[in-house]
């Protein structure tokens, strides 16, 4: 169907007229170049300055987090050394308690130390903000944290940060490490720093940098924020951290909806800078991802008003405003020329490249142009695209490529050729469809045909047609293929794999599995254009096609209850040049054939040729 006529009426200048008019602007090139260089250098310097300031803030915040958690690492190293090289034993709870108490007193950032032996009995010492120590002992067998951590620690080489641990009313950033003595694994230990300690850290950094610092746990949970330090951990309940929308920071809540900050496109890949607009005020949010503290990444960052950047840029803009005003009309003309000429030409080139690869789904319609020649080009391209899409929908893609290689649309002659033919059918589909709505039936068939159709095309086959719940395909045309039997058998084994995997998913979802019968036969058929001038199909006809369909139907009598039953004829087995595992099931007379067909069951690829 041709595209509708353009709704852009009126005068459309020619390319010649535009080029002639633009020559006059060449006299301004030297002046434009000087201004452009001045503007670019000044703007780049300003952006680099602001980029450096924001980078300094993130580096400082990352270093502060590292320094804040460092005592836990030093504590782990100290205790490990004393147990491994000294007189301390995990079973000597009294001496171990004294060791832990002294270690905690020396490191007020660390809130708790806990040690487990091989049997997961533990000794724990915790200190509150006033330095009061609490000692507990118990058995953690059956507890998720101890059970999951113990196997990891037995093979661990040293300390490792783990996931957050909640021990109400606190949530800890935890460090785990193994304990060994003379190479023998004795158990493991863990120390924790509470979340609210990190929030007080963000409060200090926010005041120092005149910004609002934060630390996220993943994309949606807030690990540390000045507001959490103020509310003294009010939002922390059990093992749940507050979400972006619970900390009372409306700017932080929009961090993932912000737009990339103009001018910082070339910034370091590890730093994200976005602009958030709220109530008419622009804010800049900068962030960086840390991956060293457990499986869930931490995201550190901060936000400040965009005015801190815009003031600097305003000073730069003022220096060239007078020159820009003088050149405004020339600039507008250059922009119009660029948009009216270069963009349509570029779109045509990109579209033509995609058409050449038959990626028609990625090709967009060309928009009308005010330039006469370019508008005619867009209309012709859109008409061609619509025709090709219709052509691709109803004609096998391999045939389309063959016609395109010829360089012109030629009639494909009908000819006799030796082909491998495949038929598939869903067992019990009629009964299944009666229990489904029309839309559910359509969705089921579309998904099913997509799965098996990709297997056919992956082996160079041509999907001929869909007949209800059946698919017909063939190999050896339109392009000749010397190994058609091998290709057909590989495709069917791939179909069996995807159907089996799909059935597993369907069973998990409580859906009825699909059972498929497949038949493959090989012989001479007539292939080419079949039909009449108003409706022609590129297809195959002949006794081989009918015999293949009967072979597939024979699967009803030879069904062994598998998800996919595959029967192949003796002609296919004779044509195999690769090793396949097939099992003879006998000779059968099928409707329309005067002689019996040797039938085999296709089992696998890469084994012995037949089974006795």
Report, as an integer, the average pLDDT of 109-136.
Answer: 87
- Other beta carbons within 10 angstroms of residue 207's beta carbon come to 11
Q: Is residue 270's pLDDT more than 80? A: no
Q: What is the pLDDT of residue 408?
A: 45
Which DSSP symbol is given to 225? -
238: left (phi over 0), alpha (psi -120 to 50) or beta: left
List the beta bridge partners of residue 473.
422, 463
Q: Is residue 211's pLDDT more than 70? A: yes
How many distinct helices (H) and strands (E) make up the chain? 15, 21
Residue 204 neighbours by CB under 8 Å, 6+ apart: none
List, in sequence order, every beta strand (DSSP E) within 468-515: 470-475
Q: Is residue 367's pLDDT more than 50? A: yes
Cα–Cα dist 532/189, whole Å = 82
Kindly report, residue by residue over 576-596, the tens digit of the pLDDT.
999 999 999 998 887 766 788
pLDDT band at 410; cut points 50, 70, 90: low
Both tokens assigned to 212 = 């609002």
Report, as an integer, the average pLDDT of 597-602.
Answer: 92
- Looking up tokens 């005592």 gives 71
Helix, strand, coil % (nearest 5) of the chain?
A: 45, 25, 30
Q: Is residue 176's pLDDT more than 80? A: yes
Q: Is residue 29's pLDDT more than 80? A: no
Going from the C-alpha of 339 to that of each of 342, 344, 354, 602, the distances in angstroms are: 6, 8, 22, 61
- Looking up tokens 């961090």 gives 255
Both tokens assigned to 299 = 């995201």
> Which domains are delineated in the chain?
14-329 (3.30.450.20), 413-605 (3.30.70.1230)
Q: What is the pLDDT of residue 521?
A: 95
pLDDT band at 230; cut points 50, 70, 90: low
Task: Enumerate the H helices of 395-483 as residue ranges.
Answer: 397-406, 429-434, 438-458
pLDDT band at 516; cut points 50, 70, 90: very high
CB 374 within 8 A of CB 6: no
Cα–Cα dist 520/571, whole Å = 9
| Lowest-confidence region among 62-76, 395-409, 460-474 | 395-409
List the beta bridge partners of residue 275.
259, 284
The closest alpha carbon to 222, from 190, 207, 244, belongs to: 244
Q: What is the pLDDT of residue 583?
A: 92
pLDDT band at 232; cut points 50, 70, 90: very low
**b or e along 66-86 (b: 16 or more beta carbons within 10 Å of the residue's beta carbon)?**
eebbebbbebbeebbeebeee
Both tokens assigned to 466 = 């869909």
Q: Beta strand pairing status for 516-532 and 564-569? A: parallel
Q: What is the pLDDT of residue 422?
A: 96
Report, as an integer, the average pLDDT of 131-140.
Answer: 89
Q: What is the pLDDT of residue 234?
A: 47
Helix (H, G, I), strand (E, B) or coil at 548: helix
Q: What is the pLDDT of residue 3?
A: 47
Kindly report, residue by residue over 331-354, the tens digit of the pLDDT.
565 556 665 666 666 777 777 776
Rounded to 10 degrees, the C-alpha dihedral 478/483/484/486 comes to -150
Q: What is the pLDDT of residue 474?
A: 95
Q: Is residue 533's pLDDT more than 80? A: no
| Lowest-confidence region among 68-77, 319-328, 452-461 | 319-328
pLDDT band at 41; cut points 50, 70, 90: low
Both tokens assigned to 221 = 């949970």
DSSP 143-179: -HHHHHHHHHHHT--S-EE---EEETTEEEEEEEEEE
* 81 vs 567, higher pLDDT: 567
Helix (H, G, I), strand (E, B) or coil at 593: coil
pLDDT > 90 in the chain, percent:
26
Cis amide bond preceding 219, omega within 30: no
Both tokens assigned to 76 = 């782990």
Helix (H, G, I), strand (E, B) or coil at 129: coil
The closest alpha carbon to 216, from 110, 303, 301, belongs to: 301
| Lowest-confidence region among 224-238, 373-387, 465-479, 519-533 | 224-238
Kindly report, residue by residue over 278-316, the tens digit of the pLDDT.
998 999 899 999 988 888 899 999 998 877 766 655 655
* 532 vs 566, higher pLDDT: 566
Length of the chain: 612
* 520 vs 539, higher pLDDT: 520
| Lowest-confidence region among 76-85, 107-116, 368-377, 506-515 | 368-377
Q: Is residue 610's pLDDT more than 70? A: no
Q: Is residue 18's pLDDT more than 60? A: no
Report the chain's mean pLDDT, rounded to a whole number. Answer: 79
Cα–Cα dist 599/569, whole Å = 5
Going from the C-alpha of 127 to that of each of 80, 94, 107, 167, 540, the distances in angstroms are: 20, 17, 10, 13, 83
């Amino acid at each position: 169907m041709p595209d509708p006529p353009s709704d852009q009426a009126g005068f459309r200048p020619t390319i010649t007229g535009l080029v002639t008019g633009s020559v006059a602007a060449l006299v301004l090139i030297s002046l434009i170049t000087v201004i452009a260089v001045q503007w670019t250098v000044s703007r780049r310097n300003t952006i680099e300055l602001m980029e450096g300031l924001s980078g300094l803030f993130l580096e400082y915040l990352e270093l502060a987090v590292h320094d804040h958690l460092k005592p836990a690492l030093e504590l782990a190293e100290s205790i490990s050394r004393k147990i491994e090289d000294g007189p301390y034993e995990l079973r000597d709870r009294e001496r171990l308690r004294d060791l832990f108490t002294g270690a905690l007193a020396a490191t007020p950032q660390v809130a708790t130390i806990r040690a487990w032996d091989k049997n997961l009995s533990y000794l724990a010492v915790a200190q509150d903000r006033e330095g009061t120590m609490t000692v507990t002992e118990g058995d953690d067998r059956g507890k998720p944290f101890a059970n999951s951590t113990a196997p990891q620690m037995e093979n661990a080489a040293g300390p490792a940060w783990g996931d957050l641990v909640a021990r109400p009313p606190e949530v800890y950033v935890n460090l785990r490490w193994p304990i060994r003595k003379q190479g023998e694994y004795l158990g493991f230990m863990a120390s924790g720093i509470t979340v609210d300690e990190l929030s007080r850290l963000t409060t200090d950094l926010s005041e120092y940098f005149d910004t609002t610092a934060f630390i996220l746990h993943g994309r949606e949970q807030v690990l540390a924020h000045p507001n959490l330090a103020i509310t003294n951990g009010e939002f922390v309940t059990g093992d749940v951290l507050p979400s972006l929308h619970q900390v009372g920071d409306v700017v932080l809540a929009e961090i993932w909806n912000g737009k990339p900050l103009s001018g910082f496109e070339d910034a370091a890949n590890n730093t994200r800078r976005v602009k958030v607009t709220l109530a008419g005020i622009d804010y800049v949010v900068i962030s960086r991802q840390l991956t060293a503290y457990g499986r869930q990444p931490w995201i550190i960052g901060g936000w400040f008003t965009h005015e801190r950047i815009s003031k600097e840029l305003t000073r730069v803009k003022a220096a060239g405003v007078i020159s820009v005003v003088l050149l405004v009309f020339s600039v507008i003309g250059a922009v119009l020329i660029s948009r009216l000429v270069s963009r349509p030409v570029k779109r045509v080139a990109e579209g033509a490249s995609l058409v050449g690869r038959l990626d028609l789904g990625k090709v967009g319609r060309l928009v009308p142009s005010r330039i006469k020649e370019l508008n005619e080009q867009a209309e012709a391209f859109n008409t061609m695209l619509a025709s090709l899409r219709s052509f691709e929908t109803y004609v096998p893609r391999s045939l389309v490529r063959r016609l395109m290689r010829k360089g012109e649309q030629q009639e494909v002659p009908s000819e006799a050729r030796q082909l491998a033919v495949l038929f598939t059918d869903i067992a019990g589909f009629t009964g299944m469809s009666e229990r489904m709505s029309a839309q559910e039936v359509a969705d089921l068939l579309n998904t099913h045909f997509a799965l098996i159709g990709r297997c056919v095309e992956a082996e160079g086959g041509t999907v001929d047609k869909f007949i209800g719940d059946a698919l017909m395909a063939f190999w050896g045309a339109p392009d000749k293929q010397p190994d058609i039997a091998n290709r057909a058998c590989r495709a069917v084994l791939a179909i069996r794999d995807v159907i089996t995997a799909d059935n597993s998913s369907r069973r998990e979802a409580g859906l009825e599995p699909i059972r498929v019968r497949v038949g493959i036969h090989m012989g001479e058929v007539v292939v080419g254009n079949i039909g009449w001038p108003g409706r022609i199909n590129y297809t195959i006809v002949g006794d081989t096609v009918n015999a293949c369909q009967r072979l597939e139907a024979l699967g009803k009598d030879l069904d062994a209850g598998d998800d996919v039953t595959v029967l192949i004829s003796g002609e296919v087995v004779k044509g195999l040049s690769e090793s396949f595992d097939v099992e003879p099931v006998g000779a059968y007379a099928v409707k329309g054939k005067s002689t019996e067909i040797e039938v085999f069951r296709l089992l696998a690829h890469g084994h012995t040729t037949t089974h006795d």
